[in-house]
Amino acid sequence: MLVLVINCGSSSVKYDVIETEERRDICRGIVERIGAVTSILKHEPAGKERIKETKVINDHGEALQEILNFLLSDEAGVLSSPSDIKAVGHRVVHGGEMFKDSVLIDDVVKDAIKQAFDLAPLHNPPNLKGIQAAQERLPDIPHVAVFDTAFHHSLPPHAYLYGIPNRLYRRHKIRKYGFHGTSHYYVSRQYYKLTDKPRKDTKVITCHLGNGASIAAIKGGESIDTSMGFTPLSGMVMGTRSGDLDPSILFYIMEKEEIQLNSLHSMLNRHSGLLGLSGYASDMRDLIEEARNGDRRCQQAIDVFCYTIQKYIGSYIAALNGCDAILLTAGIGENSPVIRQKSLENLDGLGIEIDSEKNENLTRGKLEKISSDTSKTEIYVVPTNEELVIAIDAAKIASAKGQSPWV
Ligand code: ADP
């Protein structure tokens, strides 16, 4: 089945067309800088020449129209008619407490996504815009919402409750939700294909290390804890997000720097993390290069990042009472031997031994084992594929008319 996968950010729309039976990417692309003076369109059909254009694109609706034009065009197109697409899968970041699974989108679902605007102000509004724009242009095709939070719905209360008055949970649903669910789900399932152990007995730790980063503890196939919380701001130090802080720091900053809530929000989301620590860049490649050139703050940013990974691994081994495998994924996890080495090299006391040579010499884009033969816990680099999870979910929901395929 051909599925169009859509991932809308505040100023971008990423898209993929995926053939779900063959699990094949037919085409992918992105429209960036929507609403800016000029927007950039990149369209990459498999086996055909890539296209890059600049154009004025004012909103998500226009972006969607451009994407459909590309998909149907003579030279770079991959569809003969819009009806070739049998389902549209939309990434929705926050499903609140309501969505434990992916769902067929109707007015009630759209309303619930809207109700979660306060929980994910940077993500849910553009996600809904994308849904509306796609439904207007593809009205006869089932649209499915796949939530980043859904996979973490199995968290037990002792993992998702915060130490604040319980009425705040009851009134406002303030609790840990967790994100990157499709990625943690996908990489854990790739591991299950490798092991003979019955799934119910498996214990794995998945580390999604990209611009946004989160770690999850997965027992018997279900997420039992994860580093991101009420919003994707918490947990690991990330590209531009602070990760966990002592909450008192927030009051202190507001007082000392004389700033208001919205500036604080922006500081913690856009100017903190690796960027804030280094004062140089949020991109790990740049930091590694500058640290090699002797920049102390870039090195410190890397040290904080890797130390945070170590601490999460240690605490999740305790939460799981053991660990069969650590799975590393996303931009940094898949591509940076330096960060993998630094994050995992001093954990031999926990039975975790990385093999430096395997770590250095693995083939990019492939699932590979990088632990030593004597390591009690295996370590794998597992390329993630969130779009495929969204496409398969959308295909199953569309053909099952609303039934959840999550297993
Ligand atoms: P997101 O999807 O959250 O935007 P990605 O999963 O694409 O993020 O990861 C982006 C991060 O991966 C950036 O910090 C980038 O520097 C890092 N990255 C990509 N390739 C490499 C590499 N070869 N070495 C180190 N870091 C890398």
CA of 230 to the centre of ligand 1 (A): 24
Q: N- to C-terminal Cα distance for the chain?
A: 20
8-state DSSP, 359? H
CA of 274 to the centre of ligand 1 (A): 12
Q: Measured from the CB, is residue 9 less than 6 Å from ligand 1?
A: no
Cα separation, 327 vs 140, in Å, equals 40
The structure tokens 């004389």 sit at 258
Site to substitute for ligand 1 among 208, 332, 385, most atoms within 8 A of C-beta: 332
Q: Measured from the CB, is residue 331 less than 6 Å from ligand 1?
A: yes
Site to substitute for ligand 1 among 240, 336, 340, most atoms within 8 A of C-beta: 336
Q: Measured from the CB, is residue 332 less than 6 Å from ligand 1?
A: yes
CA of 208 to the centre of ligand 1 (A): 11
CA of 252 to the centre of ligand 1 (A): 32
> Model pTM?
0.94
Q: How many CA atoms lie within 13 Å of 222's alpha carbon, on the beta-carbon side? A: 8
Q: Measured from the CB, is residue 239 less than 6 Å from ligand 1?
A: yes
3-state secondary structure of 150: helix
State the closest ligand 1 atom to the C-alpha of 212, by its place in the atom list counted from 1.
3
Q: Measured from the CB, is residue 149 less than 6 Å from ligand 1?
A: no
Q: Measured from the CB, is residue 283 less than 6 Å from ligand 1?
A: yes
What is the full per-residue pLDDT of the chain (407 aa) written as tens digits?
999 999 998 889 999 999 999 999 999 999 999 999 999 999 999 999 999 999 999 999 999 999 999 999 998 899 999 999 999 999 999 999 989 999 999 999 999 999 999 888 888 999 999 999 999 999 999 999 999 999 999 999 999 999 999 999 999 999 999 999 999 999 999 999 999 999 999 999 999 999 999 999 999 999 999 999 999 999 999 999 999 999 999 999 999 999 999 999 999 999 999 999 999 999 999 999 999 999 999 999 999 999 999 999 999 999 999 999 999 999 999 999 999 999 999 999 999 999 999 999 999 899 999 999 999 999 999 999 999 999 999 999 998 854 454 44
Cα separation, 120 vs 113, in Å, equals 10
Q: Measured from the CB, is residue 232 less than 6 Å from ligand 1?
A: no
The rounded Cα 109 to chain-centroid distance in angstroms is: 21
Site to substitute for ligand 1 among 28, 206, 335, most atoms within 8 A of C-beta: 335
CA of 363 to the centre of ligand 1 (A): 16
Cα separation, 20 vs 4, in Å, equals 10
Which residues are the active-site residues? 148
Q: Measured from the CB, is residue 210 less than 6 Å from ligand 1?
A: yes
Element (H, E) at 305: helix 296-320
Cα separation, 186 vs 147, in Å, equals 14
CB-CB neighbours of 69 under 10 Å: 13
Dihedrals φ, ψ of 15, to 5°? Answer: -145, 155
Q: Give the closest residue (by CA) to ligand 1 atom 19.
A: 331
The structure tokens 């968290």 sit at 155
- Which of 187, 183, 185, 218 is CA-nearest to residue 200? 218
Cα separation, 175 vs 273, in Å, equals 23
Distances (CA, A) of 42 to 14, 54, 125, 315, 375: 9, 9, 23, 41, 43
